[in-house]
Amino acid sequence: MDALQRATPEEQLVEVTRGSVDIHTAPELKERLARSYREKVPLVVKAGFDPNRPDLHLGHTLVLTRMRRFQEFGHQVVFIIGDFTAMIGDPSGKNVTRPPMTRDEVAANAKTYEAQVFKVLDPARTRVCLNSDWLDPLGAEGTIRLASHYTVARMLEREDFKTRFKEQRSISIHEFLYPLLQGYDSVALRADVELGATDQLFNLLVGRSLMKDYDLVPQVVMTGPILEGLDAKLIDGAIVGDKMSKSLDNYVGITEPPDQMFGKLMSITDDLMWRYYELLSARTTAELAQLRRDVASGAVHPKAAKADFAREMVERFHDAEAARRAAEDFERRFAKRQIDAVDLPVVEVPLDGPTLLVAKVVASAGFAKSFTEARKLIAQGGVRVDQQKVADPMTALGPGEYLLQVGKLRAARVVLKADPR
């Protein structure tokens, strides 16, 4: 069966909009899906990524996952590498002007993006392009004509611009160009749908507006949430926490080793698990609803459901065998508390006296950024020595070799010996 007719327009609508925050507009999307189904012509679904950093984490893949759902129904997605717009820097959500990137920096990061995106997207239904292909040819005259389509007053409707203007903080003229250039991507591609995160809504709507000005049928705009990090929790019925970020060390990188990826995902709360399932899993809405019922009834243990999700992610970004080994290793080393010291790294820590506080050992071994942070980890019950929890922050160790565990995921054989100096 043709992929475009594998599911009805109504069934497609349920899957491609799941977890959505904004849809402009739902009736238009439904009509386009129906037309595509009827005429067997795939929709053009675009999303742009500025290569500001070389590596992607799960938070970055939210939009890719939504693109993949469109692909499952036979639609064509366009993955835009914003090599031109990255040199400006997207001001969305920023309270200061971002430093521009050089072409060399952008090009280096763009290469890693191309290598990583096909861990999620289907290459056969993906068109990868650089927006410099149509933005470079605009030149000065074309850019001026493009700028004539929007007013300063409309730009200042953006919340971040409005706030900075009110607080008399700098807004550079080139930042006004960013939404226009991103919007022109949609004009150049004659997009049917554009996807992005909630902080991109203004930019996406500019594209919708520009398409009308260029006498094109305006694109449907869909935004999704920003993924919370591993430490997020359920508070008063809502998932609360900082967004997934490398700087906050609450992320899962898609190029991380399988066991590390699996272990990090097993560390999340049961509540956060459902959030991740909805936003990242390839399971259908109906399948997830059934899994929830099974967990609620006791037919499936929450830990087993979480392990299934972790395996799915490891298999997606590595392969099935890596996922199997990671699951088995986690069960052996962490769930059963059977740590094979032979497999662990050895860290030598010099003694500056007859003994050394465990907090200093933790910091010296690289498991905490400072002595103060290490003391906090001990106070939270997150440090074990030879599989015994350390309760007293004044606990000290003498010369010898110890099995040090910090949290659920980090462990090492630590050798304490006198400093030869």
Reading the block at residue 289, the tokens are 């609803």
Sort 345 into a burial class: Cβ within 10 Å, 0-12 / 13-18 / 19+: exposed
pLDDT for the residue 54: 65
Confidence of residue 248 (pLDDT cuts 50, 70, 90): confident
pLDDT for the residue 90: 64
Average pLDDT, the chain: 88
For 347-374, how does the pLDDT look when each residue is reduced to its tens digit (9 = 90+)? 899 888 888 999 999 999 988 888 998 9
The mean pLDDT of 184-210, rounded to a whole number, is: 94
Interior angle at CA 272, CA 224 and CA 200, nearest 5: 20
CB 238 within 8 Å of CB 272? no
Residue recorded with tokens 């054989």 = 413
CB 290 within 8 Å of CB 277? no
Interior angle at CA 84, CA 78 and CA 89, nearest 5: 105
Contacts of 331 (CB under 8 A, 6+ apart): none
Q: Residue 332: phi, psi to the nearest 5?
A: -70, -45
Q: Is the dihedral of CA 394, 411, 230, 288 positive or negative?
A: negative
Residue recorded with tokens 């967004």 = 243
CB 267 within 8 Å of CB 273? no
For 31-61, how does the pLDDT look when each residue is reduced to its tens digit (9 = 90+)? 999 999 999 999 999 999 877 666 788 998 9
pLDDT for the residue 238: 87
Contacts of 104 (CB under 8 A, 6+ apart): none
Confidence of residue 207 (pLDDT cuts 50, 70, 90): very high
Alpha helices in 40-131 (DSSP H): 61-72, 103-117
Confidence of residue 96 (pLDDT cuts 50, 70, 90): low
pLDDT at 338 over 60: no
Helix (H) / strand (E) element for 35: namely helix 26-39
Secondary structure of the chain: what % helix, strand, coil (to 5)? Answer: 50, 15, 35
Q: Is the dihedral of CA 132, 136, 137, 139 positive or negative?
A: positive
The one-letter code for the residue type at 125 is: R
Reading the block at residue 411, the tokens are 């462990």
Task: Report the alpha-carbon distance of residue 143 to residue 124 in Å, rounded.
Answer: 34
Q: What is the largest CA-CA distance in the chain?
A: 80
Bridge partners (DSSP) listed for residue 238? 235
| 264 or 352, which is more confident | 264
Task: Report the alpha-carbon distance of residue 335 to residue 338 in Å, rounded.
Answer: 8
Domains of the chain: 3-224 (3.40.50.620), 240-335 (1.10.240.10), 341-418 (3.10.290.10)
Reading the block at residue 225, the tokens are 């949430």
Sort 128 into a burial class: Cβ within 10 Å, 0-12 / 13-18 / 19+: middle
pLDDT for the residue 104: 80
pLDDT for the residue 110: 74
Confidence of residue 271 (pLDDT cuts 50, 70, 90): very high
Q: Is the dihedral of CA 175, 248, 305, 233 positive or negative?
A: negative
The mean pLDDT of 329-335, rounded to a whole number, is: 76
Interior angle at CA 314, CA 198 and CA 57, nearest 5: 35
pLDDT at 345 over 90: no
pLDDT for the residue 79: 93
pLDDT for the residue 183: 94
Task: Report the alpha-carbon distance of residue 14 to residue 68 in Å, rounded.
Answer: 14
Rg (CA), the chain: 25
Name which of 54-58, 139-143, 184-188 the model is least confident about: 54-58
Kindly state the percentage of the chain with pLDDT values over 90: 50
Task: Report the alpha-carbon distance of residue 274 to residue 3 in Å, rounded.
Answer: 28
Confidence of residue 139 (pLDDT cuts 50, 70, 90): very high
CB 314 within 8 Å of CB 324? no
Q: Residue 139: phi, psi to the nearest 5?
A: 65, -175
pLDDT for the residue 112: 76
Helix (H) / strand (E) element for 222: namely strand 220-224
